[in-house]
Amino acid sequence: MRGRAGRRQHPFMAVGAGKRKAKTASVPASLADASRMWRAFSAERGLNSSKARDAVVDVFLGTKAHTGLQELFETARKKHAGVSFATVYRTMKLLDEAGVAHARNFGAAKSTLYEVAVGRAHHDHLICDKCGRIVEFVEPQVEELQEKIAVRHGFTLSRHRHELYGLCGDCRPRRSAG
């Protein structure tokens, strides 16, 4: 799917005739599919292959959590000494454009974090304002309500981002007994 300026939009759930339809045909099911998507994007863009960029892609596709550029740099550098911070930065921007990564900015104080976008179901986020803890969640009632609101206002949803901010259980002040 292409959005404004030819940029690939990330599929999630579409609204059609009041029913939810999962757009799964364009969502790759595995990391091998993510690698194929990346290679196709690279070829389409005429990008030269490099061992440093490949190291960044491999490290990123192996992550399970939201990951920052510094962490990716440190891990990729261990895999290939030629990896620079600039290579990590440029590669992650390209992976986002290719639809292989989601760039996320959680709150004003946080730097951009990335998560693998392919082979994963749509989810939303809870973010702790104090410690930065991120919890992913899926809540069908929230998804249904968003769709009803969109229909009520004449919208057909193509994507959304739902982030809830507050204090996690570890950071919330404890009440004293008494």
Q: Where are the domains of the chain?
A: 28-118
pLDDT tens-digit readout, 77-136: 999 999 999 999 999 999 999 988 888 877 655 688 888 887 666 778 888 888 878 888
Rounded to whole angstroms, the Cα distance separating 129 from 107 reads 8
What is this structure's pTM? Answer: 0.64
The helix or strand, by DSSP H or E, that contains position 76, with its residue range, turns out to be helix 69-79
At residue 2, the pLDDT reads 38
Q: In what order do the strands lie in the sheet with 113-116?
A: 67-68, 113-116, 101-104
CATH no. of 28-118 = 1.10.10.10
Rounded to whole angstroms, the Cα distance separating 21 from 63 reads 29
